Amino acid sequence: MPPLDAGALRTYLRLLAYARPHWPMFLLGVLGMVLFAAVDTGFAVLVKMFLDGAFVERDPRMLLYVPAGIIVLFLVRGVGDYLSVYAPGWVGRQVIKSIRHDLFERYLQLPVTFFDRNGVAQLLSRLTYNIELVAEAATNAITFIIRDTLTVIGLLAYLLYLNWKLTLFALAVAPVIVGLIRLTSRLFRRYSMRIQASMGDVTRVAKESLESQRVIKVFNAEARQLDAFEAVNEHNRASYMKLITVKAVSNPVVQMIAALGLAAVMYVAIRDVLGAGLTVGEFTSFLAALLLVTAPLRRLVGMVGPLQQGIAAGQSVFEVLDQAVEDRGGDVPLARARGEIEYRGVSFTYDRDKGPVLSDISFTVAPGETVAIVGRSGSGKSTLVSLLPRFHDPDTGAVLIDGIDIRRYRLRELRNQLALVSQDVVLVDDTIRNNIAFSTPGADAAAVQHAAQAAHVLEFSDELPEGLETPVGERGTLLSGGQRQRVAIARAILKDAPIVILDEATSALDAESGHLVQTALGELLRERTTLVIAHRLSTVERADRILVMDEGRIVESGTHAALLAAGGVYAALHRMQFSV
Ligand SMILES: Nc1ncnc2c1ncn2[C@@H]1O[C@H](COP(=O)(O)OP(=O)(O)O)[C@@H](O)[C@H]1O
Ligand SMILES: [Mg+2]
């Protein structure tokens, strides 16, 4: 197919592969189109029968045949009509569903670094908007392209047979038309990509604004957000208009070029007729066939748009599908870790330009020990603990659990050893119970009840009419900050992992819920290896050991009392907190 370069063709074939399993339905759609078209021919036959039978032969049976014929023909036409809409629609929705499934599954498997580089809104808009554009290209376009290409080839063969010299004349414009189709294809794809990117921007601004509507209200930032939205909305419109312009211009231009070809042919043909080289009959049938070519040709040009939009969308999806998934780890099994953690000479850099975030970190945590990590914000505490679940891997050095480099464990089993409670508690829009059982789907009711009790969740859920069956709302908005934290702690207790990571788990709490969360945490941390990152030094005072971080290095370590006595960075941090 000339308007597709190799890459686009590959994308297109990959899209078609999604439709292939549904070929019987696809054929049914083609059958529907054939039936529909056949009825039109049937009508011509019926009219002839009627004229001949009723007027010429005065056949009384026509009284029955013609009305019955009309009903039968329309019945067949109706079935054809139904199939030609239903079947391609069915295939299209199946294709969209499968691609959407694959894309979502890939999103779940991609490494953390991918999400550092790609905005969530763009990824969302690929899942919702871009994918919708694929259906047309994978279903209708292919039907029309096959049908109309065959029609054009057939008619050309017939023309060649009728008069090859004239046909070659007419074909002189073909390269120009092909060139034009190529150009429109390229433009279509370019503008489609722009439109898709701008849909991502629309999604981004809308998502930010809807999620932060409280902040927007209190800062009276409505006008600012509206301006931001207007900009992306306008860009979306302008990109669309470019696409529409190409669509609007391409048809008349193709027609015009075809007309030039026709004019040339007419010139030659009439000269031949005048010179008696061509009979009127030959000329008329040639002209008729030539005019017949224009309709399928116009439809072919019309399919360029949806086809290219589908390909551009397909590319944006396949780009994600081709990203490497998270490393699944080695093959060392890990049923239940004892819980010894060691960081051995670990360095890590996010961004070469900004220098290392962790430099030569070494420390060991014994099973059951609680180690607190403190330091100014931006000193690398969260990055440090994010190496344990392998959100990132160290550039040099290694992180070990029970004496073995964690990269050698199977990733799933490694993560089974860890419970993480962080400041942003991810809650799904479901009941409190299902949020607690989030990571342990098979948990029985008694275990959930116990976890809920230990984490002081029952204290508030018992006062709700539906108890643990109360929905928490999207991102848990129906609960208070302290309640959300306690649900997250219950989830961690239920998971019963030997290693617990708390990343500022209590920093957003007021004193009272802070106290409840503290006692809940006491339950969670008993007999588990724990890394605690905390803002409030009061929550780390009870730790077995405290590591003080500064600019990606461990600058001090020891117990609360020892560090205070040493009068270094920790003592300074402590003084600062108690002076406010
Ligand atoms: N995903 C990321 N990509 C790039 N830089 C990051 C990322 N996360 C954190 N950083 C940078 O790494 C440094 C340490 O961040 P972080 O570990 O979150 O510190 P802390 O938890 O101590 O406040 C900061 O300078 C921060 O800007
Ligand atoms: Mg942090």
Whole-number pLDDT of residue 382: 93
Compute the distance from residue 331 Cα to the ligand 2 centre, in Å: 31
Angle, CA of 299, 304 and 305, to the nearest 5°? 110
Q: Please give the sequence-ordered ranges of beta strands (E in DSSP) within 366-482, or none if there are none.
A: 370-375, 396-401, 404-405, 418-422
* CB of 423 closer than 8 Å to CB of 508: yes
Closest ligand 1 atom to the C-alpha of 375? 22
Kindly report, as residue ranges, where domains of CATH 1.20.1560.10 are found in the chain: 6-321
Name the residue at shortest CA distance from atom 26 of ligand 1.
Answer: 378
Tell me how far apart the alpha carbons of residues 262 and 260 are, in angstroms, rounded to a whole number.
5
- For the chain, the maximum distance between any two Cα atoms, rounded to a whole number of angstroms, is 122
The b/e string for 332-360 (b: 16+ C-beta within 10 A; e otherwise) is eebeebebbbbbbebebbeeeeeebbbbe
pLDDT of residue 206: 94
> What CATH class is the domain 6-321?
mainly alpha
Mutate to test the pocket of ligand 1, among 115, 374, 383 (most ligand atoms within 8 A of CB): 383
Contact call for residues 433 and 453 (beta carbons, < 8 A): no
- Sign of the four-CA dihedral 545, 548, 549, 555: negative
Tell me how crowded residue 306 is: count the other CB atoms within 10 A of its CB: 20
Q: Indicate where the chain has its CATH 3.40.50.300 domain(s).
A: 341-579
Q: What is the DSSP string of 208-227?
A: HHHHTHHHHHHTT-HHHHHH
Ligand 2 centroid to Cα of residue 416, in Å, is 22
Q: Which fold is adopted by the domain 341-579?
A: Rossmann fold (3.40.50)
Ligand that comes closest to the CA of residue 380: 1
CA of 378 relative to ligand 1 center, distance in Å: 6
Q: Which CA distances in Å does 465 have to 423, 460, 469?
A: 28, 11, 9
Interatomic CA distance for residues 546 and 535, integer angstroms: 13
Any atom of ligand 1 within 6 Å of the Cβ of 382: yes
> Does residue 115 have its Cβ closer than 6 Å to ligand 1?
no
**Amino acid identity, position 363:** F
- pLDDT reported for residue 510: 62
Q: Is the CB of 352 under 6 A from ligand 1?
A: no
Burial label for 276, CB within 10 Å (0-12, 13-18, 19+), is exposed
Alpha-carbon gap, residue 185 to 436, rounded angstroms: 52
Strands (E), 108-257: none
Q: What is the pLDDT of residue 579?
A: 57
Of ligand 1's listed atoms, the one at least distance from the Cα of 552 is 14
Per-residue pLDDT of the chain (580 residues), as tens digits, is 445 678 888 999 999 999 999 999 989 988 988 888 788 777 777 777 777 777 777 777 777 887 888 888 889 989 998 998 899 899 999 999 999 999 999 999 999 999 988 989 999 999 999 999 988 787 878 778 888 888 888 888 888 888 888 888 888 888 888 888 888 889 999 999 999 999 999 999 999 999 888 899 999 999 999 999 999 999 999 999 999 999 899 888 888 888 888 888 888 878 877 777 777 777 788 888 888 888 888 888 888 888 888 999 999 999 999 999 999 999 999 999 999 999 999 999 998 888 999 999 999 999 999 999 998 889 999 999 999 999 999 999 999 999 999 999 999 999 999 998 887 777 888 999 999 998 887 888 899 998 998 888 898 889 988 999 999 888 888 888 888 888 888 898 899 899 999 888 766 566 666 677 777 777 777 789 999 998 776 668 888 999 999 999 999 999 999 998 988 889 888 888 765 4
Ligand number nearest CA of 504 is 2
Answer whether 380 contacts ligand 1 (Cβ < 6 A).
Answer: yes
pTM given for the model: 0.85
Model pLDDT, residue 512? 62
User: For ligand 1, is residue 353 a contact (CB within 6 Å)?
Assistant: no
